[in-house]
Structure 1
Amino acid sequence: MRLLLYRYRVLHLSFWSTYCSFHFYLIQQDIGWRNAMPGVLVPLFFNVLLSYLNYGYLLPRWLDRQRTAGYLLEFCAAFALCVVLKVKALRYFAPATLPQSHLYSLVFVVSSMGGTLFVVLFIGLLRFSINWFALEAKAKALENAQLHSELRFLKAQINPHFLFNTLNNLYYLAYTQSPNTPEVVAQLAQMMRYLLEDSNQPTVPVSQEIAFRRSYLSLEQLRLNHPVALDFVVTGEPAGIYVAPLLLMTFLENAFKHGVRDDDPAAWVRVGLRVSPTTCEYTVVNGRRPARSGVPQPGTGLLNVRRRLALAYPDRHELQLTEAPDQFHVHLTLHLS
């Protein structure tokens, strides 16, 4: 906002400098530069007076009250008074070489009115442009604040869901007196630190996302009663690459929820990550259980992911969900630049 006001001050000064220079150049060609000074300074004084009376007082009152008739009446009165005083001053300071017939002609009065009206209208348009750009800036700031709040709310929904699932897993391990319980607790502490602290940032290093997903896969592997074919392949150099956090968590959780059962030793999950300076591609593929009857409905998690992608990567992502009788495939591409 300060930069906008500074630019408008520079624009005002530039306009008046150009106006004076051009006016002086035209007049001094006819009557010389010494005699031209009153012909420049007198119109400048009255034009500045009326322009900023309209700019700083009449227009703001009209914008607040929205009374067009009252504004026009006040403006016409001020304009008429200003033109009368301007014409009288020009006649008083006019050089003796200028014919009196010209000073008292209708052409002289009309030209004085036209010059003043042009300047006042130009400065008035600046007032409207300032208001318009200020409103645009406020609207943009409000929109960004609303989007930021919505994005934080969507990310906050992930934490309770993940914590609920993990506590169930931890309860099961403790109930069965699994020797893996201490290891699970240690991994859970690291993951919760990431969820509560690092994931609140707009972007995080890809290396942290990789570590979080490895911990999650290890946690799920420990929970299951049998080994599951889990593959996590990273291609490319993740150093220096930043992405929005936890975008793939919903698909990972769904892969284990819908594709892995304790009584199915043939269950499998494959996770892939391909990183480049301009793109980041995620893939999650898992085996599917036999389809239930009825038409599946999109869950809250999927709707959450789609909305987060729309906010964090507008027009810079592609999400493809492919269903087959025996597997479910997720492919997400993020365009980083």
Structure 2
Amino acid sequence: MSLKWLINTGSTIPKKYHIIFWSGYFAFNVIRWGSYFNDYWYSLKSNLVEFPLHIIIVYVNIYFLIPKFILTKKYKRYILFLLLSLIILYVVRTGLNYLLVTKNIWPEAEGIQKAFTFNHIIAVTLGELYVVALASAIKLTVDWVYEKTRFEKLKKVQLRTELNFLKSQIQPHFFFNTLNNLYALTLEKSDAAPEVVLKLSDIMQYVLYDVKEPFIKLYDEINYIQNYLDLEKLRFGDKIISTTSIIGDIDKIKVPPLLFLPFIENCFKHGKKGDNKIKVVISFENVADKNLIFKVENSFQNIENKEITNHGIGIQNVKRRLELLYDTSFELKTSIKKNKYCVQLKLPI
């Protein structure tokens, strides 16, 4: 996170809090030094002279010196201008105290002290640096917290935007494939075409209207998958053999929408070879209310490993969504066992 955020954060602390801070600090100083000298009238007069100067040098440091020199890495110039500011402030403060408050410009020291002596310069300078450091530290801390919060919000917005974009990619991808299936049925003048249209209508309603939240009920997603399987069965008939099993209680489980379908689509992409039957086995398992395990396996014929690993937009999309949503807390494994292609996805509940 760059320090340049300091340049434009003057509004991070509302004005009323500036007033509260300086009023509280002023009252504290009046009481503190009034008690020390046992002279509250003197303490009030001296603080009335000094506090406007404190405020000026603090704001010069925060809103001019730091942005102009610290943020541009001109550290020598920063030190130079800060020293010049302290010198000017010392002269003005000492003169005003002498003219308006007391001839004894350093009453807390023993004896009568003169102005512009080394010890007096050091004492006044250290006092001013203390005020500058305290106020600047508060301001920079508030700005850092503000910027950190803003950064987290932007990060969430960016994540949500990317997830929505990835989800929107899946929808046309799915509809394109389904419309191709429907087109094939119409060419064959199949009686299944009207039922396909009805199934597709149900799926479109789910995708376009129901899937608006980042997480949905697993049961809804399973119903969506079942509709897709029904569509494929209408197209391929007895060539499709599919089973879906649910192990454990999944009533309260929520998952990202449209997450599992690309794996199911992949089964038909690689399974529909020649006149062989396409066998698809799907399972969802709740493991001790800690993890959800999704498994799918399909038979395939005469397919090269290279073709299997090149899944296209669907699977790559899913992987990216999983990384954004779960970081490293998910496990995705693929394997080839004899004539079966297997996928196992483990998600935290």
Task: Indicate the TM-score class for this superposition, using the shorter chain for normalisation.
Answer: 0.7 to 0.9
Matched, 1:162 2:174: yes
Distance in 2 between the 1:86 and 1:234 partners?
Answer: 80
1:327 counterpart residue number: 340
Distance in 1 between the 2:216 and 2:151 partners?
Answer: 28
2:279 counterpart residue number: 268
1:274 aligns to what SS in structure 2?
A: strand
The letter for the 2-side match of 1:102 is: Q
Structure 2: tracts of 5 or more residues without a match: 1-7
Q: CA deviation at 1:241?
A: 3.5
Structure 1: tracts of 5 or more residues without a match: none
What's the TM-score, normalizing by structure 2?
A: 0.79
* 2:321 paired residue among 292, 308, 315: 308
- Provide the aligned C-alpha RMSD in A: 3.6
Matched, 1:79 2:86: yes
Distance in 2 between the 1:293 and 1:244 partners?
Answer: 29
1:281 aligns to what SS in structure 2?
A: strand
How many residue pairs match? The answer is: 334
Distance in 2 between the 1:29 and 1:292 partners?
Answer: 89
Distance in 2 between the 1:27 and 1:103 partners?
Answer: 22
Change (3 A) 1:203 1:34: same
Q: CA deviation at 1:335?
A: 1.5
Alignment map for 1:60-139 (pairs within 5 Å)? 60-62=67-69, 72=79, 74-91=81-98, 92-94=100-102, 98=107, 101-102=112-113, 104=115, 106-129=118-141, 132-133=144-145, 136-137=148-149, 139=151
The letter for the 2-side match of 1:322 is: S
1:159-195 deviations in whole A, cap 9, x for unaligned? 2322222122212323333332222110101112222
Q: CA deviation at 1:118?
A: 1.9
- The answer (yes or no) to whether the contact 2:233–2:240 under 8 Å persists in 1 is yes
Task: Tell me whether 163-172 or 248-257 shows the greater mean CA deviation.
Answer: 163-172
1:152 counterpart residue number: 164
The letter for the 1-side match of 2:228 is: Y
Distance in 1 between the 2:192 and 2:307 partners?
Answer: 39
1:230-276 deviations in whole A, cap 9, x for unaligned? 111233444444321111111101112223456224x4211112347
1:185 counterpart residue number: 197
Distance in 1 between the 2:36 and 2:303 partners?
Answer: 92
Task: Tell me whether 232-241 or 315-324 shows the greater mean CA deviation.
Answer: 232-241
Q: CA deviation at 1:215?
A: 0.4
What's the TM-score, normalizing by structure 1?
A: 0.81
Matched, 1:257 2:257: no
Distance in 2 between the 1:260 and 1:283 partners?
Answer: 20
1:40-64 deviations in whole A, cap 9, x for unaligned? 4433332122212332344444478
- Seq. identity, %: 25
Change (3 A) 1:50 1:331: same
1:293-330 deviations in whole A, cap 9, x for unaligned? 86854322322221111012223322121221121221
Distance in 2 between the 1:164 and 1:45 partners?
Answer: 71
The letter for the 2-side match of 1:315 is: T
Distance in 2 between the 1:38 and 1:293 partners?
Answer: 87
Change (3 A) 1:206 1:297: closer
- The answer (yes or no) to whether the contact 2:58–2:136 under 8 Å persists in 1 is yes
